Structure 1
Amino acid sequence: MRARFRPFARHFGPILALGLPLIGSHVAQFAINLTDTVMLGWYDVQALAAQVLAGSAFFVIFIVGAGFAWAVMPLVATAEASGDAQAVRRTTRMGLWLSALYGILALPLFAFSAPIFRALGQEPEIAEAAALYLWIAGPGILPALGVMVLKSYLSALERARIVLLATLAAVAANALGNWILIFGRLGLPELGLAGAAWSSVITQLVAMGFLVVYAARVMPEHALFRRLWRIDTEAFATVFRLGWPIGLTNLAETGLFSASALMMGWLGALPLAAHGIALNITATVFMVHVGLSNVATIRAGQAMGRGDHAGLREGALAVIAVSALVAAATVVMFLTVPEQLVGLFVAPGDPDRPAILAIGATLLAAAALFQFADAAQVVALGLLRGVQDTRVPMLWATFSYWGVGVPASYLLAFHTALGGVGIWLGLALGLGLAGAGMMARFWLGLARRGS
């Protein structure tokens, strides 16, 4: 038994060594958004509402463009494992090119967002305030996507600690910038919502500068920024082919949860508030699986570069086992202490607290049902990206989330007595189908390779 387990056990140490800093960086990245929400909530409720609207729009546009950055990760991991430093440089440079081009094309959406918000039925004052935020913060998508590319590059080279340190520094810089610019500290004017936007741009520029300096000084052999203006059509096409399906897959999953929030809003303010709290809790846990998904991508890419099909299979089983253990612990937590978790987000004296705690606890019980499914789909996506398989997973994810998950949520919520719980059960169905299909594709593909 021990001999049979030994090939898998050798992967756990490297998975944790790479995974813990990557998980920490994703949790820290999530904390940046949480900091904006909390600090603007202290400042003004109208400003908070505008930032939530603008921030959601920014994130949707950003997450599509991040597909090119995430494509860099498996390509660099494979190139590094095969000893091809030139491919590492070419891939990363063209990831920066594609991210910059996408960011430039997105700028008009930020500059002229007010009519779009009004057309979507938002209140005119909120729409104008959100448009002001995006007018300032929108250009920050360029350094933000650059940071994503460099994080993918560094992570693929197993330099995840510097990725974590850079993200933690960004959290601190954003909080300090918010404090100074939103509230007008240290002799500067009080800018409110605009201050939060300026703080975001400054934070992204600082993070970009930090990673550029680190990459140039610590890894001069890659010469990433030498003659950066020269296009490499072959590498450009490779990153583009791998990256655009990743971006659309990101959009499909993000849209699934956005649609759930819209439907929950139709049920009333209290269900929507409880839904938002439950989503924040589940999203925090999900960052662990996202970090493990990155590990799966890197380790699979390295195995591909070495031509090590046995190592690919064993490493995949090991990272799936770690993710399943996290999912099991999460299920126990959601079923045993849901009121305590939801209560962290509601003031003790709030008259709606009992109702929100009750609804939130029920939603977390429903969330417990899809923890294994959610873990499976994101880790499977990571493994498939590692072997550079992104187009079919994109189609399957879109079908699972939008062809099954969203309709099921609507039917269960509004054509049965389940209400808000029905929305979350629909999410579970869509995520479960996505996870089963993508896991099947990875393992069937592995069998075809003769592993």
Structure 2
Amino acid sequence: MTAETLAPLTGSAPATARAELRALLTLAGPLVGANLLQMAVAAVDVIFVARLGTVELAAATLGVFMFNLLMYSTIGLTTAASPLIAAELGRRKHAVREVRRSFRMALWVGAAAAIVVMIILWNGERLLLLADQDPAVARRSGHFLHIILLGTFPAVAAGVMRTSAAALGRPGWAFGVTGMALAFSIVANWCLVFGNAGFPRLGLEGSALASVLSLSLMAIAYWLILHFDRRLRRYRLFGRWWRSEWSRFREIVRLGLPISLTWMAEGALFGGASLLMGVLGVKEVAAHAVALNIASLTFQVPLGIAQAATIRVGMGYGARNSEWIRRAGRIALAVGTGSMAISALTMWVAPRLLVSAYLDLGNPLNAPVVHLAVSYLAVAAVFQLVDGIQVVAAANLRGLQDTRVPMLVALFGYWVVGFGTAIVLGFRTPLAGVGIWMGLAAGLLVVSILLMWRWSARDRLGLTAAR
């Protein structure tokens, strides 16, 4: 193995931009693949439940949305372990004790947050009724949530283990484990939703149980990997798991809470846009769902690059190497923006081809929805670039353990500028649904500009001075 190949696995700074690019891509490739597979895992439940009827599908959609929003926000809270571990490796290649402390306290933080999430999900039916949802749908969604909430602990634990394995230079396991979970989820849904292969027909509840089993399988797989992978087992990450490290616990909460709120703000923004579309009409909701799914798929590429960027910048931060920080951040921004430029061009040149994966273009009944979806994709093509910039810039700052101000930027950009503009353009102008998408673009643009300014001013602001 060459020194350049080992770069993602050690605390040494690559000597050239080409070496840094190789290190970034070595980390980012499997993470991008895992992100795309994770989207497929989430889609499996909906695909199977859709055959059960409209009420069941609506209940599953609402339940999955609530569960994912809270689960990913909790995982965001524990993601603080990634820059901490990266910084420790940057300071010292064999920081076994410090890495173990960060991992252990991330699990503790995740477990505490998971309890809160489970309490919220247990009251899901009540919350949906307060949101003025159909009582029958809310009741079925409540039953769904009562089962799937059991997957909260394994989901959070798997998230911590995945993040730590990637930070320690083994991102490939994320792709393998997620692929296994996808295959298992398909089989489990087939057996439990429809009662195949001798299993009872559980319908909606079977889908929730399949999710719990899939998440538990992922957690067990990661546990085995951390114990038996030759490179990872030397850290003995589960050693003395009962021992408290309250200073590190507070550090993870300090860094992780803003990350969690940022992720929740962004997820809620797009969820809020869906509600606004619902006010406009059914065709608008359907077209929005298609366009948003396409945009979400392309977003997984810069998201994986951003996850790798946090590790690379974090290593430079721990090593107190400003040149390493600059090079890692710059290359991650170039790769992330470049990937989104390709997706933007595809949306601009061939939007109908993309929409055809979801709708039959030859069916005249689909024509209004197709027209709207193509219009939304035209706006999505414009904000692809800024979306890639903002997610990587935020990740670069996360590598510098700077999370509080980026959170404030996100709250302002997404909800004051983005949601506010969506309401004005969507309901006070003839733009309607296109106006709502323009509001999303405006929010992302503001966030990307402010985060890029902060990244560019990192030395003046004292962000590169390792604590």
Normalising to structure 2: TM-score of the pair? 0.93
Q: Conserved in 1, the CA contact under 8 Å of 2:121 and 2:145?
A: yes
Give the whole-Å Cα distance in 2 for the aligned partners of 1:351 and 1:139. Answer: 44
Matching residue within 99, 104, 118 for 2:110: 99
Name the amino acid aligned to 1:172. Answer: A
Structure 1 equivalent of residue 46 of structure 2: 37
Give the whole-Å Cα distance in 1 for the aligned partners of 2:280 and 2:49. Answer: 26
Q: 228-237 vs 440-449, which deviates more?
A: 440-449
| 3-state SS, counterpart of residue 250 of structure 1 | helix
Give the whole-Å Cα distance in 2 for the aligned partners of 1:390 and 1:108. Answer: 27
Give the whole-Å Cα distance in 1 for the aligned partners of 2:19 and 2:228. Answer: 33
Structure 1 equivalent of residue 9 of structure 2: none
Q: Conserved in 1, the CA contact under 8 Å of 2:56 and 2:204?
A: yes
Tell me, yes or no, if structure 1 residue 299 matches structure 2 residue 308. no
Matching residue within 177, 181, 188 for 1:166: 177
1:91-142 per-residue CA deviation (whole Å, 9 max, x = no partner) reads 0100000101111122221222212111211111110110000000012111
Structure 1 equivalent of residue 73 of structure 2: 64
Structure 2 equivalent of residue 54 of structure 1: 63
CA-based RMSD: 1.5
1:345-395 per-residue CA deviation (whole Å, 9 max, x = no partner) reads 124565431111111001000111111111111001100110100001001
Q: Conserved in 1, the CA contact under 8 Å of 2:35 and 2:304?
A: yes
1:294-330 per-residue CA deviation (whole Å, 9 max, x = no partner) reads 0110100111122211011011111111112111111
Give the whole-Å Cα distance in 2 for the aligned partners of 1:295 and 1:28. Answer: 17
Matching residue within 24, 27, 34 for 1:25: 34
Tell me, yes or no, if structure 1 residue 421 matches structure 2 residue 434. yes
| 3-state SS, counterpart of residue 423 of structure 2 | helix
Q: 135-144 vs 342-351, which deviates more?
A: 342-351
Q: Which runs of 4+ in 1 moved over 6 A?
A: none
Q: 440-449 vs 335-344, which deviates more?
A: 440-449
Kindly state the Cα deviation for residue 430 of structure 1 after the two structures are TM-superposed: 0.4
Give the whole-Å Cα distance in 1 for the aligned partners of 2:140 and 2:248. Answer: 41
Structure 1 equivalent of residue 217 of structure 2: 206
Structure 1 segments unaligned to the other structure (5+ residues): 1-5
Q: Matched residues, percent identical?
A: 33
| 3-state SS, counterpart of residue 304 of structure 2 | helix
Matching residue within 264, 274, 280 for 2:287: 274
Name the amino acid aligned to 1:342. Answer: V
Kindly state the Cα deviation for residue 201 of structure 1 after the two structures are TM-superposed: 0.5
Matching residue within 95, 104, 121 for 1:110: 121
Normalising to structure 1: TM-score of the pair? 0.96
Kindly state the Cα deviation for residue 9 of structure 1 after the two structures are TM-superposed: 2.9
| 3-state SS, counterpart of residue 190 of structure 1 | coil
Kindly state the Cα deviation for residue 7 of structure 1 after the two structures are TM-superposed: 3.9
Give the whole-Å Cα distance in 1 for the aligned partners of 2:336 and 2:360. Answer: 33
Kindly state the Cα deviation for residue 404 of structure 1 after the two structures are TM-superposed: 0.7
Give the whole-Å Cα distance in 2 for the aligned partners of 1:288 and 1:346. Answer: 24
- Structure 1 pair 141/350, CA: closer, same or farther in 2 (3 Å)? farther
Structure 2 equivalent of residue 16 of structure 1: 25
Matches within 5 A, 1:75-94: 75-83=84-92, 84-94=95-105
1:195-243 per-residue CA deviation (whole Å, 9 max, x = no partner) reads 0000000011111011011102223322222221221111111111111
1:421-446 per-residue CA deviation (whole Å, 9 max, x = no partner) reads 00011111100000110111111013
